[in-house]
């Protein structure tokens, strides 16, 4: 995890000091700071285990947190597993550190879509998309600091959907990064494009590998490269790969794995290129994508 990830702390949950002697699926009335609440537990066969105490202990903290931000919360339905959640409801994975910072687990909340949108401040479609990525969110949670703090921001599911661009960036870094955009231009176009990109927009030119035979320029924009390649315009040119057309490039950890996954989708790929570690394919609409391996 990059040092600048700036993830808020994951909440450390301790067992209730005086839990009920026996827990079973169904409603349990609890006292949260002097006010009653009902936790409807769906224990999925975990009625005698630690999972039941975990769900109850987390439920108390969940009610407290929602009340602190002014969201009415008198009843919460919690599951020890998403299995069995009705199709018309959403199963929300709430990640937490249970007893120790190293024990990252999930308690699942069952919510109708409209109620989920109200308490999580996001569209039901967004909530469903991130709920389906529970294993990825668990990885993210294991990278976060851990704290007991009840006040302030913490790594909750609500924080995830409210900061999905950051979360998506952190998750995607595990397997892929953006490499470059490549534009193939006629010589007269290239000189103008170079001036626009450097003098107007501020991109900075860098050296190109000597192994590339096509004339052109490489420019840098933050951590993304823009490649300008010069050649005579040939409107009927469909050469691929080699003198590649306009394309985007991603850097991946394993070209062989990427090729196999493409084949499973019925997409042919070709290895070629002056750098020696490139894979090329076309999307169904004809757009070209290049993949490069992470440099050794």
> How high is the pLDDT of residue 240?
39
Q: How far apart are CA 240 and CA 200, in angstroms?
A: 32
Q: How many CB atoms lie within 10 A of CB 215?
A: 12
Is residue 39 within 8 A of residue 27, CB to CB? The reply is yes
Q: Can you give the pLDDT at residue 275?
A: 74
Q: Supply the pLDDT for residue 220.
A: 95
Show the domains of the chain with their CATH numbers. 3-172 (no CATH), 176-293 (3.10.180.10)
Report pLDDT for 117.
96
pLDDT at residue number 186: 81
- pLDDT (tens, 9 = 90+) of the chain, 296 residues, equals 343 457 899 999 988 887 777 777 889 999 899 999 999 999 876 545 688 889 999 999 999 999 988 987 889 999 999 988 999 999 999 999 999 989 999 999 999 999 999 999 999 999 999 999 999 999 999 989 888 766 678 899 999 999 999 999 999 988 899 989 998 888 888 888 999 999 988 999 999 988 888 889 999 998 889 999 887 655 555 553 444 578 999 999 899 999 999 999 999 999 987 777 889 998 887 888 999 988 76
State pTM to two decimals: 0.81
**Pairing status of strand 146-147 against strand 10-13:** parallel
Distance CA 121, CA 124 (A): 9
């Amino acid at each position: 995890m990059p040092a600048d990830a700036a993830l808020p702390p994951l909440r450390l949950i301790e067992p209730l000091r005086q839990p009920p002697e026996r827990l079973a699926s169904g409603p349990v009335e609890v006292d949260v700071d002097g006010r009653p609440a009902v936790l409807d537990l769906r224990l999925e066969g975990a009625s005698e285990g630690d999972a039941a105490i975990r769900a109850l202990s987390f439920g108390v903290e969940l009610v407290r947190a929602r009340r602190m931000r002014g969201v009415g919360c008198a009843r919460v339905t919690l599951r020890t597993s998403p299995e069995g959640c009705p199709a018309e409801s959403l199963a929300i994975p709430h990640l937490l550190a249970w007893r120790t910072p190293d024990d990252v687990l999930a308690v699942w909340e069952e919510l109708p879509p409209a109620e989920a949108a109200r308490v999580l401040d996001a569209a039901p479609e967004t909530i469903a998309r991130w709920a389906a990525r529970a294993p990825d969110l668990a990885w993210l949670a294991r990278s976060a600091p851990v704290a007991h703090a009840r006040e302030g921001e913490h790594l909750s599911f609500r924080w995830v959907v409210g900061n999905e661009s950051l979360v998506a960036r952190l998750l995607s870094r595990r397997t892929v990064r953006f490499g470059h955009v490549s534009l193939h231009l006629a010589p007269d176009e290239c000189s103008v494009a170079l001036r626009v990109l450097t003098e107007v927009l501020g991109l900075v030119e860098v050296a190109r590998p000597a192994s590339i035979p096509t004339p052109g320029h490489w420019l840098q924009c933050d951590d993304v490269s823009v490649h300008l390649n010069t050649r005579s315009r040939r409107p009927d040119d469909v050469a691929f790969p080699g003198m590649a057309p306009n394309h985007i490039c991603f850097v991946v950890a394993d070209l062989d794995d990427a090729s196999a996954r493409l084949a499973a989708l019925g997409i042919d790929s070709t290895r070629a290129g002056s750098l020696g570690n490139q894979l090329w394919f076309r999307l169904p609409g004809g757009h070209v994508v290049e993949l490069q391996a992470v440099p050794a």
